[in-house]
Amino acid sequence: MAYHSAMIRYLKLGLLLLLLAACSGRPGPITVADNVVSVQNQTTRDWRTVVVTVNDHFRGGAATLPAGSRMAAPLSQFKTAFGQQYDASRQHVFKIEVTATDANGDPVELTFDPLRR
């Protein structure tokens, strides 16, 4: 009897873990991890003129971001209009905005706010 109750306990634990993994959902289109900003085009259309703005002042980007693909850049590569680099040791990310134009000419606007997550 002890063997069966232990097996049932492990089965319940396994089912719970599977349920939690299934409910976790996919990550958003903008993520920040280890001082690297990643932007994923989760649409079916290519994007062009992609501009990523960190904390309203630091910018970076790419000419294109094909549908389903991802771009990643260290925060240190983002610069202000005056050439100042983002310094992760002195500041934290409070907002990221992504703007682009899709293949149909429609605007793309995404916002990442770590406090809202």
Please report, for the domain that includes residue 59, its CATH number.
2.60.40.2890
What is the rounded average pLDDT for all residues in the chain? Answer: 87
pLDDT digits 0-9 by tens, 37-79: 999 999 999 999 999 999 999 999 999 999 999 999 999 999 9
Measuring CA to CA, which residue among 36, 63, 38 is closest to residue 48? 63
In a domain, 18, yes or no: no
In a domain, 21, yes or no: no
Distance CA 97, CA 56 (A): 8
**Greater confidence, 117 or 86?**
86
In a domain, 53, yes or no: yes
Measuring CA to CA, which residue among 69, 73, 75 is closest to residue 40? 69
Percentage, residues of the chain above pLDDT 70: 76
In a domain, 22, yes or no: no
In a domain, 71, yes or no: yes
Q: How high is the pLDDT of residue 114?
A: 80
pTM over 0.85: no
In a domain, 13, yes or no: no
In a domain, 77, yes or no: yes
**Greater confidence, 47 or 26?**
47
| Domain of residue 31, residue span | 27-112
